[in-house]
Amino acid sequence: MGKEDAGANSEREYLRKQLQYPDWYIKLEDYLKTQIYPVVHDNPEFMRQRNGFYSLVEEMLDKGGVPLAREGLNLDAERKPIDTVVIHHTEENPDITLERLNAIGFVRQYAQNYLHGDVWGKKGLRGQPIWSGHFRDFGNGQQMTFFAYHWLIRPDGRAERLLEDGEIGHHAGNLNLESIGLSFSGNYEHSTPPVEQIEEAAKIIKENYSFVENARILGHCEVMEARTCPGDMFLGQQGWKNILIAEIEK
Ligand SMILES: [Zn+2]
């Protein structure tokens, strides 16, 4: 084992130890704020490190190794009538497993909210074990889930529902309560998704959210400043948002 591997291993063991506490996100607050939460694009080394952390969290969630809350408030009670669809890309491997995506949501969305201690105006959550109130069976019985989006669409046009419409996803800041999050699996930071993927997104919107006006179908970058999601080919005359809207209008 090289020196570097030994260092990476001892960091992993350190992180693993902290994750066994219900308030792990406070113990790792500095690490999360410097290594995990900054918005970074096109930096393979950063992404490699992050993926190492996500894989550790995924492994521990799978084994029940991270203490979660056993009960909690109905956070979805704050859900408002849906009037907006927000388009995202995962900026991850297009074949990402749902378990990995779930671990990412746990770290990026839920732990960040619990650090602030405030979810939908419910205060005093900082330091508490994390609770989502969302459950799903991955094949080992019901387990708590932390998905940020309602839908995940693969490049070949297969779609998976991650949240029910009545469940709130953490994907669009101030618009979370009244919006649906629809995510393109893959990294489209500088490219256009395959036509099958765009067609499936249009189909999901037509079949489920025909009551949402076209003007309220927005990219993440249109609703949150300083976001580039779903990538720099989305907007503009030649942008793929126009293809999506044209498909919806067909
Ligand atoms: Zn996004």
For the chain, which residues make up each domain, given as ranges? 3-69+81-249
Query: Across the strands, what pairs with 122?
Result: 119
- Separation of CA 230 and ligand 1 centre (Å): 6
Task: Report the 10 Å Cβ neighbour count for 248.
Answer: 19
> Order of strands, edge to edge, in the sheet holding 159-161?
159-161, 151-153, 179-184, 84-89, 217-219
Query: Which pLDDT does position 182 carry in this prediction?
Result: 98
- Which CATH code for domain 3-69+81-249? 3.40.80.10
- Separation of CA 93 and ligand 1 centre (Å): 15
- Separation of CA 222 and ligand 1 centre (Å): 10
- Separation of CA 69 and ligand 1 centre (Å): 27
d(CA 228, CA 191): 12
- Separation of CA 181 and ligand 1 centre (Å): 8
At residue 225 the predicted structure's pLDDT band, cuts being 50, 70 and 90, is confident
Buried b (16+ CB within 10 A) or exposed e, 69-101: beebeebbeebeebebbbbbbbbbebebeebbb
- Separation of CA 7 and ligand 1 centre (Å): 33
Interval 107-127: pLDDT, tens: 999 999 999 998 888 888 999
Query: Which pLDDT does position 4 carry in this prediction?
Result: 67
Average pLDDT, the chain: 94
Mean pLDDT for 131-139 is 90
Q: Nearest-CA neighbor of 219 among 206, 237, 233? A: 233
Interval 2-27: pLDDT, tens: 666 777 789 999 999 999 999 999 99
Interval 226-236: pLDDT, tens: 899 999 999 99
Interval 30-51: pLDDT, tens: 999 999 999 888 888 888 999 9
